[in-house]
Amino acid sequence: MNPQAETKPGTEERERVFGLAVLEPGPLGGDYGRQILEWVEAFEPLEPFEAGKKAKLWLQTNLETENLPHRTYLVFDDEDPDRLFGFFVLDSLEVQVSASDVPIMQVRRAIKDPAAPTQPATKLVWITRHRDSPAGIGAEMFEYALYVAEEAGSCALMVDAFDQTTAEELWIKRFDLREPREGASEWSCLWHAVGQPDQTFC
Task: Say if residue 141's pLDDT is above 90.
Answer: yes
**pLDDT tens digits for range 4-26:** 434 443 345 666 678 999 999 99
Q: What is the pLDDT of residue 108?
A: 72
Residues 6+ apart with CB under 8 A from 176: 192
Pick the closest to residue 47 from 169, 143, 141, 160 (CA basis).
169
| Superfamily name and number for 3-193 | Gcn5-related N-acetyltransferase (GNAT) (3.40.630.30)
**pLDDT tens digits for range 23-80:** 999 998 889 999 999 999 999 999 877 899 999 999 999 999 999 999 999 999 988 8
Q: How far apart are CA 90 and CA 103, in angstroms?
A: 25
pTM attached to this predicted model: 0.85
Q: What is the pLDDT of residue 123?
A: 96
Q: How far apart are CA 65 and CA 152, in angstroms?
A: 28
Residues 6+ apart with CB under 8 A from 27: 66, 67
